[in-house]
Structure 1
Amino acid sequence: MKNLGELGERLVASWLKTQGYKLLHQGWSCRWGEIDLIATHQCKACLIFVEVKTRGDRNWDSNGLLAIDTRKQEKICQTAMLFLAQNSKLAELPCRFDVALVNYTLAANFDSRVNYLTTSQMTLNGDRYQFNLQTYLKSAFELA
């Protein structure tokens, strides 16, 4: 299942780049936890911490949204604060916490390309699954 999550993160990272974001880290981890993606935007002086949830069609938690409860948000914020402490040049930027919800289904096509559908959605075909960026929530929660 970790591989499916990594493919979901790869899809979101590709989409962010098409939206003008610069990816700084993928899978940044410390003693508190992990932040899936850390990015900045070319036009806005802002540091973005992105939590990616990758789910199949038959999930119980609203495509991963319910998994980002208060406890998970606190863990992400603690991890972000440690990242900022270790990267003092970025610590002065305003921070934003986004959430990306990715859905996967069994793919009929085993091509490992990223297909650009629209500016708000992308599809990644890889291995045996097709991944779709379903929802991207900007400022989904705030620093606790």
Structure 2
Amino acid sequence: MANSPPFHYPDIGQLGEDLVAKWLQSSGWLILHRRFSCRWGEIDIIAQYQGISGVGETPNSTLAFVEVKTRSSGNWDAGGRNAITAKKQAKLWRTAEMFLAKYPEKADYPCRFDVAIVYSQPIAKQLPGATFTQEVLASSLVAGYQLQLQEYIAAAFDSLADHG
């Protein structure tokens, strides 16, 4: 029997997105879309938060376009933070514009771009008694992996409308 290719494993990125989507829902966010794509790119999660601004006021909705970076230990890009380059931000911005064009009823909502950092580790590779020193926002054990939402960066970068 031939060995599996080295990249034959569950879609870790999707497992990370699942964890973040569940965490957002538990925090009061409504998931509008997962893996929204167009010719410009893809947005992992598009979520809406319906908050109340004050007593007797109307609901104040916010849209978050969430980029999820799922990485294992020893990764080359600071847990995915270094992968959010200016070029990647431009793609996310254009993709968000396409989403808002497709759903014009959402176009007047305040929008922000968030980044979620998820750490992934095969369960078999965990050391006995190993603990994580960083506080974890959410975690799950799925498909032989432990996933941990290490950081959620709200409004991680400005809209490119400010940059011309």
TM-score by length of 1: 0.89
Distance 1:41 1:32, change over 3 A: same
How many residue pairs end up in the alignment? 134
> Percent sequence identity over matched residues?
47
C-alpha distance in 1 between matches for 2:65 and 2:114: 6
Q: Does 1:93 align with 2:102?
A: no
Q: Does 1:6 align with 2:21?
A: no
| 8 Å CA contact retained: 2:10, 2:143 | no
- Aligned AA (2:99): F
Task: Give deviations 1:39-88, integer Å, cap 9, x for gaps.
Answer: 01121411110000000011010100000011100000000001101110
Larger-gyration structure (1/2): 2
Partner residue, 2:56: none
Q: Which runs of 4+ in 1 moved over 3 A?
A: none
Structure 1: 5+ residue runs without aligned partners? Answer: 109-119
Partner residue, 1:114: none
Partner residue, 1:115: none
Partner residue, 1:125: 141
C-alpha distance in 1 between matches for 2:15 and 2:140: 8
Task: Give deviations 1:76-121, integer Å, cap 9, x for gaps.
Answer: 000000110111000010101000000011115xxxxxxxxxxx61
* C-alpha RMSD of matched pairs (Å): 1.5
Deviation at 1:124, TM superposition (A): 1.2
Partner residue, 2:33: 25
Partner residue, 2:83: 67
TM-score by length of 2: 0.78
